[in-house]
Structure 1
Amino acid sequence: MTMLRSRLGIMMFLQFFIWGGWFVTLGTFLGSNLSASGGQIGMAFSTQSWGAIIAPFIIGLIADRYFNAERLLGVLHLAGAGLLFALYRSDDFTAFYPLVLLYMILYMPTLALVNAVSFRQMTDPAREFARIRVWGTIGWIIAGLVISFVFSWDSGASIEAGALRYTFLMSAIASLLLGLYSFTLPATPPRAERGSQLRDVLGLDALKLLRDRHYAIFFVASILICIPLAFYYQNANPFLADIGMTNPTGKMTLGQLSEVLFMLLLPLFIKRFGIKLTLLVGMLAWSLRYLLFAFGDADGVAFMLLVGIALHGVCYDFFFVSGQIYTDARAGEHVKSSAQGMITLATYGVGMLIGFQVAGWITEHFANAGATDWQSIWLFPSLFALGVLVLFALLFKDRQGSGVSTDR
């Protein structure tokens, strides 16, 4: 069992090393090396959302019916390695965009595939999965540390010299390794019946949850809070690099470290204070972190930036992870999986798609003559998150007041 867990841990490590190896620095690379506008950078980040929207079709209509999960995982990562290499060689945004769009359409389904391979080998997923999934977070952290502290690709002169291009080459090599490694993983044959209805595959039965007024309020808030989330993914690394913070990508791994810590604290917080307060704390953390970004700088008050980065664990875990827990509790037994698919599609698909577009427009609006008004850029998502928080506090009701509601 220990050997199997190690093999699955290696899979998770590579899966998220690949993503963290280029996605964090994408905005900096596009702005500095391909002269992309704010709108174009938003388009590039939006490919994640298009991938999330299309992923259920690939998994539900293909993987769950016809192919072993580990084999499809291998094929997608081998194809991804070729696309990442092509991105490494791209010289302008016109050539770059279709390649990154196709790559994310292939990559996003692999997130579900690595989970499927893992869960099928476990006897007690609730106890075992966290020990395996944490290696994915470690992979993301290591990728950031390699970029900043081993190769220094994200430091001033290196950025100007185009060194961030090598992040795609590094990720391509890791994708090639995972593609080949996937074929050695335990067999994970399809389980779904080939005659399953499309509504089952896409989780449409879970839409009945929206008849509950309070769940519908949570659902809309989840989509809206993705707008501030998109600002972090799209702008944090370019912002830190632009104001002169050294090794910004490595320092951003503080966010993943805090994510692990607050993931452990989350169940205790929900049990003690209830789901509503947990969600409100998550939204407040989004507003606070952007306020810290707006008034912090790389010199005298750099601690404000580091605190803002470290708040990522509260921002993400206390809203998005607790939201998944709340969704699971509200869903009936027969639509639990569909409900998770629905909320994931709404947030990483629709919500992030809107968020990246808004972040692109706002960033472009406050970038004039080569100078970027970062304070105004960060104040927008800070105030937006605060507005969502106020509306949610007024309209949402946690029926039990403590723990997670289960009455339907």
Structure 2
Amino acid sequence: MASNTAMKTRLIVMNFLEFAVWGCYLVSMGIYLGSVNLGDHIFWFYTGQGLVSLFMPALIGIIADKWIPAQKMLSLCHGIAGIFMLLAGWYCWQSDGNVDFGTLFTFYTLSIAFFMPTIGLANSVAFNALNKAGLDTVTAFPPIRIFGTIGFICAELFVNFTNFQSTYAQFISSGVVSLILMIYALTMPNCPVNPSSGSSISETLGLSAFKLFKRRTMAVFFMFSMLLGVCLQITNSYGTMFIDSFQNIAEYAQTWGARNATALTAISQASEALCILLIPFCLKKFGIKGVMLTAMMAWVFRFGFFGIGNTGSGLVWIILSCVVYGVAFDFFNVAGGLFVDQQTDKKLRSSAQGLFMIMTNGIGASVGTFLAGTLVVNKHVDMSGMTSAAENLSGWQHSWFIFAAYALIISILFIFIFKAPKTSENISLAKAEDIDGGDPEGMAQ
């Protein structure tokens, strides 16, 4: 029991650092980019995050499954990501406000190219450690993962109250935390590798995880993961910038929310921390379909509440938007990661988590952020400052309502198309022999 407690503590520290790296810049970067006249390019930074997620998590996952233990890959990736993020901060510092989009975007993209795989790797390291300890991942992992959210919150509050949210220092902060995790990851339990026997090219390259698409349940699950992934980075891209814009409206200029956008959005992550604890109960009670549908509807309210909120009398709506974000994000990402882990043979664990990242943070988030920026926000909101603040507020409202309508349509389609077990106990642990088949045990029924 004591050894299990010690292991959980070690995993808690790992998750705290993992998401603190992200929290330093993910929701506040838009404020800084806007301050250096790169507001029209915000969507590119989040689209780039999605584009690298198309291949890097899967590639790194394959290497971790086949050749280099996951905990060592986690360390290596954080080392490279941290160095490039520090270079991004250094460039912004020496540019003295004249930031070139191409240069900053290059450093940033190289950093996130190695950071994005670490989310799946951290899951693999945690699942491996919990399994070795004889613990049930469905019940043991969420209370550990909650500290990742706490790490994200602490990083958000740090950059907010140091005013790093409007400077390049947020990149430097992220890089430093990443290098700390580079060292700490090497203390994690060893994860086994499974070198290919060379029986097929697919097995040699670690592409067997893609065989999950042969099973209807998993194919449909990944399809909707992609469609819901469209929503993932929209509020991260524009949420704080939207809230910060109320400083340009006399009625709201001196409100606390307008002046502390990053701290206000930290409520979203606080909600995440609480919602994670609900996942084991909800998975067992409602199954993966119920949990995913709840997440989809939460996205509807996430966007809709932003659309009717402000930092004055309408602050309650922005707060409610932040509260439902916990359900929207956790019930999708954490529960989805657990579902994929249960449906996948341990030999393919890292590859399958990488595949989940491809569909969500890769295809879904990159396409979603690109379209959100080019077809919606940049069409309705003037980033140049030539349009009045009141007109821009109307543009923001129209944008949020468009996003809410999209999430509602996906929710309705999901109800009729996706079929899955109703409780987590009925979720078959699909091992390697099942992956090559169709849909064993009638799971799609």
- Sequence identity, in percent? 28
CA distance in 2, matches of 1:132, 1:375: 37
1:179 to 175, 182, 187: 182
Change (3 A) 1:59 1:225: closer
CA distance in 2, matches of 1:277, 1:5: 28
CA distance in 2, matches of 1:262, 1:187: 28
Change (3 A) 1:265 1:113: closer
Query: Does residue 1:29 correspond to 2:32, yes or no?
Result: yes
Change (3 A) 1:98 1:198: farther
CA distance in 2, matches of 1:113, 1:215: 21
Counting matched residue pairs gives: 391
CA distance in 1, matches of 2:221, 2:70: 33
CA distance in 1, matches of 2:362, 2:134: 30
Which position in structure 1 is the counterpart of 2:52? Answer: 51
Query: Does residue 1:223 correspond to 2:237, yes or no?
Result: no
Query: Does residue 1:313 correspond to 2:326, yes or no?
Result: yes
Change (3 A) 1:282 1:177: closer
Which position in structure 2 is the counterpart of 1:237? Answer: 240
Which position in structure 2 is the counterpart of 1:96? Answer: 104
Change (3 A) 1:339 1:319: same
CA distance in 1, matches of 2:267, 2:311: 16
Change (3 A) 1:374 1:79: same
CA distance in 2, matches of 1:345, 1:235: 22
CA distance in 2, matches of 1:358, 1:198: 36
Q: Deviations over 1:365-407 (max 9, x none)?
A: 1123524321111111111111112222344455759986654
Change (3 A) 1:334 1:64: closer
Change (3 A) 1:192 1:355: same
TM-score (norm 2): 0.78
Mark the runs of 5 or more structure 1 residues left unpaired by the alignment. Answer: none
CA distance in 2, matches of 1:274, 1:71: 34
CA distance in 2, matches of 1:404, 1:353: 33
Give yes or no for contact 1:285–1:314 (8 Å, CA) kept in 2: yes
Give yes or no for contact 2:30–2:39 (8 Å, CA) kept in 1: no
In the TM superposition, residue 121 of structure 1 has moved relative to its aligned partner by 3.6
Change (3 A) 1:322 1:130: closer
Give yes or no for contact 2:289–2:422 (8 Å, CA) kept in 1: no
Which position in structure 1 is the counterpart of 2:270? Answer: 257
In the TM superposition, residue 215 of structure 1 has moved relative to its aligned partner by 5.4
2:210 to 185, 204, 209: 204
2:378 to 329, 339, 364: 364
CA distance in 2, matches of 1:58, 1:199: 16
CA distance in 2, matches of 1:353, 1:366: 20
SS state of the match for residue 304, structure 1? helix
TM-score (norm 1): 0.85
Mark the runs of 5 or more structure 2 residues left unpaired by the alignment. Answer: 93-98, 248-257, 429-440
SS state of the match for residue 298, structure 1? coil
Change (3 A) 1:403 1:287: farther
CA distance in 2, matches of 1:14, 1:72: 16
SS state of the match for residue 308, structure 1? helix
In the TM superposition, residue 217 of structure 1 has moved relative to its aligned partner by 4.4
Give yes or no for contact 1:49–1:352 (8 Å, CA) kept in 2: yes
CA distance in 2, matches of 1:311, 1:27: 22
Which position in structure 1 is the counterpart of 2:157? Answer: 145
1:193 to 188, 192, 195: 195
Which position in structure 2 is the counterpart of 1:110? Answer: 118
2:148 to 136, 140, 143: 136
Deviates more, 1:140-149 or 1:216-225: 216-225
SS state of the match for residue 83, structure 1? helix
What letter corresponds to residue 51 of structure 1 in structure 2?
V
Which position in structure 1 is the counterpart of 2:399? Answer: 377
Change (3 A) 1:262 1:70: closer
Give yes or no for contact 1:255–1:312 (8 Å, CA) kept in 2: yes
CA distance in 1, matches of 2:185, 2:283: 37
CA distance in 1, matches of 2:6, 2:427: 39
CA distance in 1, matches of 2:417, 2:140: 37
Give yes or no for contact 2:81–2:115 (8 Å, CA) kept in 1: yes
CA distance in 2, matches of 1:255, 1:131: 17
CA distance in 1, matches of 2:235, 2:13: 28
CA distance in 2, matches of 1:7, 1:269: 26
CA distance in 1, matches of 2:424, 2:157: 39
What letter corresponds to residue 403 of structure 2 in structure 1?
P
CA distance in 2, matches of 1:221, 1:70: 30
CA distance in 2, matches of 1:187, 1:172: 24
Change (3 A) 1:262 1:100: same
CA distance in 2, matches of 1:68, 1:401: 32
Q: Deviations over 1:257-315 (max 9, x none)?
A: 21222222234334444544433332222112211111111111101001001111221
Which position in structure 1 is the counterpart of 2:355? Answer: 342
CA distance in 2, matches of 1:72, 1:402: 30
2:309 to 290, 296, 299: 296
